[in-house]
């Protein structure tokens, strides 16, 4: 095959062949695909080589040496070398298998190559402990929590509309939710585990307090208008949306919708059923409780990655966005900014947000962002419509039963 090549190509082909001849092992292009976390170019070889994994002869693949640079560069970020065996410690072979492929021969040969490259860190009989132990994870969590608090405070009291760092921080968190989470049980690394879709036809509930008989008649005669989301100019300050931006706040049941209103005993409440007109995709905060961070990728550096630090905030994120309090005009700023970031994420892949009710144990809220519709009224299309088959239901609040416990002041414990 050499005769068809020009001089430079012949030199290159010779170099590759030499590299292959001197290699301690060859991996064919098929087996190469099974070595995760690496994307290496195939190198065509002049003579067929025997793959050390599948033992087949193949015309293209990569020499094992091709993996040394990246492993040497990245493994020391994930592990510390230790002297003593412990519950957490791993052998070099186990680490190599974790980042490449579960194959004894590959692990043994790569361990030798790595030892040659960097004998101080890599030893075929060496023991290693993950850098990210529980204590470090706890530290990361605290750093992330402090950062959330810092940005929340700055957004409220110093800078709001041009706070790029806060915007980047929120975007980092959403990226992490979208790309780095997997199900706790049998989880695969599929993207978007945090999303949940509801099918066309799903029923959601919306409630309003009725102040007079006149209003009661209005709810009955024009439920879409009076139970639907308010027009933008009347939209109030809400957990996920600032005044002037009208999101549709709905709930999974009539009970949740009523509880979220925080009514007084004696109030009359109108509840309407709204039906999804198409499949709607939500960023589901309740999903976060059943998800966990996937294993760090080889190129992720746990020692200094802001991205990685942020990811530890995820377990508390749901509590942060759904925490109950008597809000004043600025208390919701950070959740409003966070929800706007979700709304704009990847050009609008999410139709809304799901989060737990702070007023009813087990209740779930569905907030729909809506799109500007193209009709002459420039109204907002939420893709949910009042159920015309069932009437608006009215409820009277009999009792609000508080549940509480006595708390002692922290000082008493000192």
Instruction: List contacts with Zn ion (CB under 5 A).
Output: 28, 31, 51, 53-54
CA distance 202 to 142: 39
Residue nearest to Zn ion (CB): 51
* Minimum distance, C-beta of residue 55 to Zn ion, in the bound complex (Å): 7
Closer of 53 and 384 to Zn ion (Cβ): 53
* Minimum distance, C-beta of residue 50 to Zn ion, in the bound complex (Å): 9
* Minimum distance, C-beta of residue 92 to Zn ion, in the bound complex (Å): 23
Closer of 54 and 330 to Zn ion (Cβ): 54
* Minimum distance, C-beta of residue 105 to Zn ion, in the bound complex (Å): 11
- Report whether 122 contacts 77 (CB < 8 A): no
Closer of 53 and 173 to Zn ion (Cβ): 53
Closer of 34 and 378 to Zn ion (Cβ): 34
* Minimum distance, C-beta of residue 54 to Zn ion, in the bound complex (Å): 3
Closer of 31 and 229 to Zn ion (Cβ): 31
**Directed axis angle between helix 164-179 and helix 134-157, to 10°?**
140
Question: Could you tell me the two tokens for 205?
Answer: 């509930």
Closer of 35 and 193 to Zn ion (Cβ): 35
Closer of 13 and 54 to Zn ion (Cβ): 54
* Minimum distance, C-beta of residue 51 to Zn ion, in the bound complex (Å): 3
Closer of 67 and 151 to Zn ion (Cβ): 67
**Which residue(s) pair with 366 in the sheet?**
250, 354
* Minimum distance, C-beta of residue 240 to Zn ion, in the bound complex (Å): 52
What does the H/E/C string look like for the chain?
CHHHCCHHHHHHHHHHHHHHHCCCCEEEHHHHHHCCCCCCCCEEEEEEEEECCCCCEEEEEEEHHHHHHHHHHHHHHHEEEECCCCCCCEEHHHHHHHHCCCCHHHHHHHHHHHHHHCCCCCCCCCEEEECCCHHHHHHHHHHHHHHHHHHHHHHHHCCCCCCHHHHHHHHHHHHHHHHCEEECCCCCCCCCCCEEEECCCCEEEEEEEECCHHHHHHHHHCHHHHHCCCCHHHCCCCCCCCCCCCCEEEECCHHHHHHHCCCCCCCEEEEEEEEECCCEEEEEHHHHHHEEECCCCCCCCCCCCHHHHHHCCHHHHHHHHHCCCCCCCCCCHHHHHHHHHHHHHHHCCCCEEEEECCCCCCCEEEEECCEECCCCCCCEECCEEECCCCCCEEEECCCCCCCCCCCCCHHHHC
* Minimum distance, C-beta of residue 16 to Zn ion, in the bound complex (Å): 18
* Minimum distance, C-beta of residue 299 to Zn ion, in the bound complex (Å): 24
Closer of 53 and 251 to Zn ion (Cβ): 53
């Amino acid at each position: 095959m050499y005769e068809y090549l020009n001089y430079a190509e012949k030199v290159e082909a010779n170099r590759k062949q030499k590299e292959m001849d001197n290699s301690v092992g060859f991996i064919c292009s098929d087996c190469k695909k099974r070595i995760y976390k690496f994307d290496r170019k195939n190198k065509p070889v002049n003579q067929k080589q025997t793959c050390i994994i599948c033992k087949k002869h193949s015309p293209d693949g990569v020499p094992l040496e091709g993996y040394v640079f990246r492993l040497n560069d990245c493994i020391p970020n994930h592990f510390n070398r230790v002297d003593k065996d412990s519950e957490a410690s791993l052998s070099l072979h186990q680490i190599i298998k974790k980042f490449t492929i579960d194959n004894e021969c590959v692990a043994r040969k790569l361990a030798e190559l790595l030892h040659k490259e960097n004998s101080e860190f890599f030893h075929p009989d060496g023991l290693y402990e993950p850098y990210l132990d529980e204590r470090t994870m706890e530290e990361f969590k605290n750093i992330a929590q402090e950062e959330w608090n810092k940005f929340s405070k700055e957004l409220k009291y110093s800078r709001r509309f041009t706070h790029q760092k806060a915007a980047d921080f929120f975007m980092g968190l959403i990226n992490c939710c979208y790309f780095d989470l997997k199900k706790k049980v049998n989880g695969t690394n599929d993207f978007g585990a945090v999303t949940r879709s509801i099918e066309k036809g799903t029923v959601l509930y919306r409630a309003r307090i009725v102040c007079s008989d006149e209003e009661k008649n209005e709810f009955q005669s024009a439920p879409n208008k009076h139970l639907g989301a308010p027009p933008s100019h009347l939209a109030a300050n809400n957990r996920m949306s600032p005044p002037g931006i009208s999101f549709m706040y709905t709930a999974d049941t009539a009970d949740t919708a009523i509880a979220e209103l925080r009514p007084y005993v004696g109030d009359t409440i109108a509840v309407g059923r709204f039906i999804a007109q198409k499949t709607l995709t939500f960023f589901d905060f309740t999903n976060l409780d059943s998800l966990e961070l996937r294993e760090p990728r080889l190129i992720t550096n746990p020692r200094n990655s802001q991205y990685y630090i942020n990811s530890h905030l995820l377990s508390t994120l749901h509590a942060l966005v759904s925490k109950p309090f008597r809000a004043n005009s600025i208390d919701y700023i950070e959740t409003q900014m966070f929800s706007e970031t979700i709304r704009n994420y990847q050009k609008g892949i999410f139709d809304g947000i799901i989060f737990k009710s702070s007023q009813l144990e087990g209740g779930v809220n569905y907030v729909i962002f809506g799109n500007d519709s193209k009709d002459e009224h420039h109204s907002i299309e939420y893709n949910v419509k009042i159920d015309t088959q069932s009437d608006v239901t009215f409820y009277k609040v009999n009792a609000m039963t508080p549940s509480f416990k006595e708390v002692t002041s922290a000082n008493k414990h000192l």
